[in-house]
Structure 1
Amino acid sequence: MFIDAPTTSLVVRDRPAMPTNNVGGLSRYPVANIGDAMDRLNLMDAAIKSQWDGARCVGPALTVLTRDGDNLAIHRALDDASPGDVLVINALGGTARAVFGDLLAEVCLAAGIAGVVIDGLTRDRAAIQALGLPLWARGVSPAGPAKYGPGQVFTPVACGGVVVNPGDIIAADDDGIAVIPQENAEAVLNRLATIDDFEEAFRQKVRASSLTAR
Structure 2
Amino acid sequence: MTPIGFRILPRTAQAVDAATLAGFSEIGSAQISDCMNRLYGIVGLHPMHAGARRIVGLALTVKTRPGDNLMIHQAISLAEKGDVIVVDGGGEIANALVGELMMMDAQNRGVAGFVIDGAVRDADVFAVNDFGCFARAVNHKGPYKDGPGEINVPVSVGGQVVNAGDVIVGDADGVVVIPAEHAAAVLKLAQKKEADEAVSKEKLRAGTYTKPWLEKTLTEKRGGTQ
SS of the residue aligned with 1:10?
coil
User: What amino acid sits opposite 1:23 in the alignment?
Assistant: L
TM-score normalized with structure 2 length: 0.85
Greater displacement, 136-145 / 189-198: 189-198
Q: CA deviation at 1:62?
A: 0.5
Higher-Rg member (1/2): 2
Aligned to 1:134: 132
Aligned to 1:32: 30
Aligned to 1:15: 11
Distance 1:160 1:140 in 2: 16
Distance 2:149 2:98 in 1: 15
Distance 2:5 2:164 in 1: 20
Aligned to 1:48: 45
Aligned to 1:190: 188
Q: CA deviation at 1:9?
A: 6.0
* Counterpart mapping for 1:54-203 below 5 A: 54-203=52-201
Distance 2:77 2:205 in 1: 52
Distance 1:49 1:128 in 2: 12
Would you say the 8 A contact 1:84–1:114 is kept in 2?
A: yes
TM-score normalized with structure 1 length: 0.90
Deviations 1:102-158 (A, max 9, x none): 111111111111010000000001123344311000000000000000000011101
Q: State the percentage of identical aligned residues.
A: 39
Deviations 1:35-77 (A, max 9, x none): 11111111111x2000133322000000000011000000011
Matched pairs, number = 203
SS of the residue aligned with 1:62?
strand
Aligned to 1:5: none
Deviations 1:172-208 (A, max 9, x none): 0010000000111111111112212211111111211
Distance 1:166 1:20 in 2: 15
Would you say the 8 A contact 2:5–2:148 is kept in 1?
A: yes
Distance 2:115 2:201 in 1: 33
Q: Which runs of 5+ in 2 are unaligned?
A: 209-226
User: What amino acid sits opposite 1:112 in the alignment?
Assistant: G
Q: Which runs of 5+ in 1 are unaligned?
A: 1-7
Distance 2:73 2:115 in 1: 15
Q: Would you identify which runs of 4 or more consecutive aligned residues in structure 1 move more than 2 Å?
A: 15-21, 52-55, 128-132
User: What amino acid sits opposite 2:108 in the alignment?
Assistant: A
Would you say the 8 A contact 1:169–1:182 is kept in 2?
A: yes
SS of the residue aligned with 1:138?
strand
